[in-house]
Amino acid sequence: MADNTQGNRGFTLIELMVVVLLVAIMAAITVPQLVEVTRRGHLEETVNAVHRAVADARALAMKTRLATVVEIREESVWINQLAAEACTSGYRKRCVQVMGATAIAADENVLRWDQGAVDKAGVAMCSFRQAAVNATGVCAVSNLSLGDGGAVCFNGSGQLWVRSGGDDTTLCAATDAAQDPTTVWLKSCVPWAANPGGATAQNAFSGADVRFNRFESGAGTCPPGGTLSADAKDVTRQVLIPAGGHPLVRLP
């Protein structure tokens, strides 16, 4: 009878150790890449959530003929529907948070709720600039303080207004049904349209431009035409809120 002992033998200890070593090497290569892909996905989620909030606010304003405000801060985004067509109207449904860590109370009059990805994986708003017609009738560009955030308003016709660059009022801080009377709304504009030198890195946009990236320290800057923070971990994403038309997302 033939001896099949050699054909049925198991793995040797050395062979098993080689397999374990290969698996460990593959894990060391692929796991960090998978983690990075996941964290990059958090950046995409944040940018898309901001874009959806702004797009929904514009659609809501045009559908109801009631002005709608979007307040964008570093850690959250809020939608506020107003009581009339003008952006200076009082609140109808006030300060409903659509992105951030705080849940909405059960008795809130909710416009839309979407738990977002803010504060995950070092995602941060790194630039907020806007173009608006100032008191002298000039279309001026202002870069807002990231700590204060910014706010845009679509009136009942869908036209974009922005909160004054010198106005750091937090629209959702008060509990009454009226906007802070010190809030200044300015009509948005296209800064390069009247510029004989044409568009530049600083003015080649209209309305408002909000940018996001991931940073090692959890915060950073990405000024248009300027230097990106050294600890930036990704390509900057940009949410454009044009003076006229639908908001969009792009890579600058």
User: DSSP letter string over 143-192?
Assistant: EPPTTT-EEEEE-TT--EEEE-TT----TTS--SSS--TT--EEEB--TT
* In-domain check, residue 187: yes
Q: How many domains does the chain have?
A: 1
* In-domain check, residue 239: yes
* In-domain check, residue 31: yes
Burial class of residue 6, CB neighbours in 10 A (0-12, 13-18, 19+): exposed
* 197 three-state secondary structure: coil
Instruction: Please give the model's pTM, rounded to 2 decimal places.
Output: 0.75
Per-residue pLDDT, 108? 46
Higher pLDDT, 55 or 6: 55
Residue 99 has pLDDT above 80, yes or no: no
* In-domain check, residue 34: yes
* Mean pLDDT (whole number) for 92-99: 63
Burial class of residue 50, CB neighbours in 10 A (0-12, 13-18, 19+): buried
* In-domain check, residue 2: no
State the amino acid at position 225 in one-letter form. Answer: G
* In-domain check, residue 235: yes
Q: State pLDDT tens for residues 114-156.
A: 444 344 557 888 889 999 998 888 888 888 888 778 889 999 9
* In-domain check, residue 4: no
Q: How far apart are CA 93 and CA 78, in angstroms?
A: 11
Maximum CA extent, the chain:
106
* In-domain check, residue 205: yes
Residue 2 has pLDDT above 80, yes or no: no
Residues of the domain holding 178: 13-250
DSSP 229: P
